[in-house]
Structure 1
Amino acid sequence: MGNDGHIAHLTGPRRPRALSPLREHLRDTFWFAPTAGLLGAVLLWWAASAVDLEIVALLQRERAYGAVRELMSIAEDAKTIVTTISAAMMTFIGVVFSISLVAVQMAGGQLTPRVVRIFVRSRITKITLTVFLATFLFSLLVLTSYESESSAREVTSVPVVQSLMTLALVGLSLVLFIAYVSSTLRLMQVGPVVDRIARETLRMLARQAPGSEDGGDGAGVRAPETGWMAHEGRAGVVRDVHVARLVRVARRQGVVLRLIPRIGDFVMPGTPVLAVHGGTPPRRALLRYTVSVGVERTFHQDLGLGLRQLSDIALRALSPAVNDPTTAVQCLDRVVQILAAVVHRPLGTVHHRDRRGAVRLTQRVPGWADLVDLGLTEVRAASVHSPQVTRRLLAGIDDLLLLAPEERREPLVRHRELLLQAVEQAVPEAADRRFASHPDRQGIG
């Protein structure tokens, strides 16, 4: 939340500080890391070139021309290697990432197109591409440092350090290539993908402030609504809000701001996005870049995105064209894990407070029933003819019923009854119905 977004009634270990929206948005891009790597390659070459100049100048001042000639001989031998590296690196990059794009396309087709974002956010993918491009650019710059034939007395620079740095970058590229292939193969498997989705959801949950089950628009805001701010710009989904900046603006203005849409809602130009309570609305310039709208949802503050992705993967696996109930069971494992993590957590409306403890920003988050419906409804409807999935779904609901307090049992009981009714109607044989209605955490062993 930054320094202005303190959370009231927080107990236990200190909650991790929220990532800034800018940092999160840069992680969703594929250009920032390679661009920074190219700039770093230029700076590294400049530093190595300066070291080479200083070494040659020092040897010439001491009249160690034999050492200079030896360095020139080493650099001339290394020139062939550097030339080969510069010629081969771009071809290597093109082949590797062409294969990677095919792998991403296959994973998106087999699981869900929304998992492509996992590849985009993969650190090892970005680091590998960055080092590959930096090695290519660095080798080209090193070639410019080679001088034409000259004597040991007249030469100004011998790119020995630069050549050694090129070889070091090549070695690093080979190591990263092995790690990249291993990581890409793992992300093409169902287990690591659903595990990654669950971990990102739980990580986001740890950063988010606890809510309060007071429900309704404007819940917890005592002051009357005095105005609202409309969305300007392109249509899209609300990806996240800059909580610290909104809290700071509301504190200086002496008002309470309320985020009208939930994170993940689709908004159009003119749609109300911020309601103002208790005072004069802030100038629009102060609220610029506080509500981020994009074409896709992100994990930064979106509690329901992980369940949405897991549900999509399970539905695709249960479709007649794929017919892979084991994948659906793996998704249900993670759905139950996420629901278990929030079963005791206050949900509904999140209150963000300033340093004095006054509420300055409120936003709605999905409630318990919303999350249960999101994680179970579509999978339940599609799983009637798959006993492996119905058995795992019943076992997951039973586990959640053991954990859930009394006031949160109703959605779980409702889904359990609907599933049993659907199995009763869809499965004609009594023995098959009993089998499909028996809870089993592995589905079918």
Structure 2
Amino acid sequence: MRLWYRDRLQKAVLATFTGTFAFAFSLLRSIETDSVPDLGVTLAGMAVAVSLVLLLICLNRFTHNLRPVAIAELVTRMGEAVFTSGAAAIRGAALHGDGTVMRLRSGRGGSIQAFNVSALVPEAARHDCVFVVTRLIGDSVPPGTVLIEVHGGTSQPDPDRVTGLVALGAERTIEQDPAFALRILVDIAIRALSPAVNDPTTAVQVIDHIESFLHMVGSTRLPGRCVLADRHERARFVLPGRDWENFLQLAVCEIREYGGSSMQICRQLHAMLEGLLDTLPPSQHDAVRTEISLLQEPIDREFTDPARRAIAQRPDHRVIGGKYPS
């Protein structure tokens, strides 16, 4: 829904319709018994025509983007863009501090949506301290939770000012949380696997997007925390981050749990994991092999017949009905 109401085309259509209606309504005051504003009527007619064309374009786009796979593609692009920009912003720096710690608590609850990094880093530099975030982006925090620890410093920052630079809301957002994009993809897949829907083909298509996302994440060095420095290369802002195992478990665990009885899902997940082994650096292989061994458990449980089990545990991106050239 967030992707829908932020769509620029939809806003343009609503603005055009509103402007056309307001212009046509104001034009009524210019109509008299013996005269009609020809130019105004012509412009109003043209505006109506443009509005109808935009409406048709919007409806066409809406019907296409309403499909789960189209939403998955859009979410994947957004998640990859956020992950890439976040990884590029990380700069390594050594942590310094005199051991004193000041804990800043959240005045209200909500999900951590974003940090105003461009303001937090200068604020830490102004007080010559380091802001260390205690929770992950996307975590839900109750009021009174320790949100930021202030390490060192020549003076104490204003707690309300610092915590005010952390955006808390009713739900997670993708803007600084690429893991939420992966969470959405997994949710689409497991909904497709629910008994009420029973659409494993859609889940398989979503797994393709998950695989693309994982290839990008696995090819990036994840230090476990993001350390941002000021212009003098002194650490000022430390944010805990997710490692490769976190992303991989998020992507695989629930789909394996709810799709373990589907031959399509087992074959597709196995193919995805084998593909990760083939392309990612050796440092990422242990986590992938663990997921492969865990995938074997539902296969052994659900497919007791040896012939069916052999088919289910065969990695295949074409799932069922295809054959790779030998």
Residue in 2 aligned with 1:155? none
Mapping for residues 37-436 of structure 1, pairs under 5 Å? 116-144=1-29, 146=30, 148=32, 159=37, 161-210=39-88, 221-223=95-97, 224-233=99-108, 235-279=109-153, 280-287=155-162, 289-347=164-222, 348-436=224-312
Q: Is the 8 A contact 2:267 2:314 kept in 1?
A: yes
> How big is the shift at 1:367?
0.9
Q: Is the 8 A contact 2:105 2:163 kept in 1?
A: no
Distance 1:196 1:229, change over 3 A: same
Structure 1 CA distance for aligned equivalents of residues 254 and 89 of structure 2: 26
Structure 2 CA distance for aligned equivalents of residues 288 and 147 of structure 1: 58
Q: Secondary structure at the match of 2:87?
A: coil
Residue in 2 aligned with 1:70? none
Q: Is the 8 A contact 1:314 1:379 kept in 2?
A: yes
Q: Is the 8 A contact 1:247 1:360 kept in 2?
A: yes
Structure 1 CA distance for aligned equivalents of residues 187 and 212 of structure 2: 17
> How big is the shift at 1:269?
1.2
> How big is the shift at 1:149?
5.7
Structure 2 CA distance for aligned equivalents of residues 268 and 281 of structure 1: 24
Distance 1:363 1:399, change over 3 A: same
Deviations 1:25-57 (A, max 9, x none): xxxxxxxxxxxxxxxxxxxxxxxxxxxxxxxxx
Distance 1:190 1:285, change over 3 A: closer
> How big is the shift at 1:351?
1.6
Q: Is the 8 A contact 2:95 2:234 kept in 1?
A: no
Q: Is the 8 A contact 2:147 2:163 kept in 1?
A: no
Q: Which runs of 5+ in 2 are unaligned?
A: none
Deviations 1:367-387 (A, max 9, x none): 110000000011011222111
Tell me which amino acid in the other structure corresponds to 1:229: L
Structure 2 CA distance for aligned equivalents of residues 170 and 294 of structure 1: 39
Aligned-residue RMSD, C-alpha: 2.1
Structure 2 CA distance for aligned equivalents of residues 304 and 428 of structure 1: 36
Q: Is the 8 A contact 1:228 1:272 kept in 2?
A: yes
Q: Secondary structure at the match of 2:178?
A: coil
> How big is the shift at 1:192?
1.0
Tell me which amino acid in the other structure corresponds to 2:191: R
Deviations 1:384-434 (A, max 9, x none): 211111001000000011122122111110110111122112211000000
> How big is the shift at 1:147?
6.0
Tell me which amino acid in the other structure corresponds to 1:275: E
Tell me which amino acid in the other structure corresponds to 1:357: E
Tell me which amino acid in the other structure corresponds to 2:87: A
Q: Secondary structure at the match of 1:264?
A: coil
Q: Secondary structure at the match of 1:237?
A: strand
Structure 1 CA distance for aligned equivalents of residues 251 and 69 of structure 2: 18
Residue in 2 aligned with 1:3? none
TM-score normalized by structure 1?
Answer: 0.67
Distance 1:225 1:319, change over 3 A: farther
Deviations 1:308-364 (A, max 9, x none): 111111111111221111011011101110010111212221122222222211111
Q: Is the 8 A contact 1:210 1:345 kept in 2?
A: no
Distance 1:162 1:206, change over 3 A: farther
Tell me which amino acid in the other structure corresponds to 1:283: D
Structure 2 CA distance for aligned equivalents of residues 162 and 289 of structure 1: 50
Distance 1:208 1:164, change over 3 A: farther
Tell me which amino acid in the other structure corresponds to 2:133: L
Q: Is the 8 A contact 1:318 1:382 kept in 2?
A: yes
Q: Secondary structure at the match of 1:202?
A: helix
Could you tell which deviates more after superposition, 339-348 or 386-395? 339-348
Distance 1:161 1:250, change over 3 A: farther
Q: Secondary structure at the match of 1:350?
A: strand
Structure 2 CA distance for aligned equivalents of residues 180 and 419 of structure 1: 42
Percent identity at matched positions?
31
Q: Which runs of 5+ in 1 are unaligned?
A: 1-115, 152-157
Aligned residues: 317
Structure 2 CA distance for aligned equivalents of residues 120 and 411 of structure 1: 38
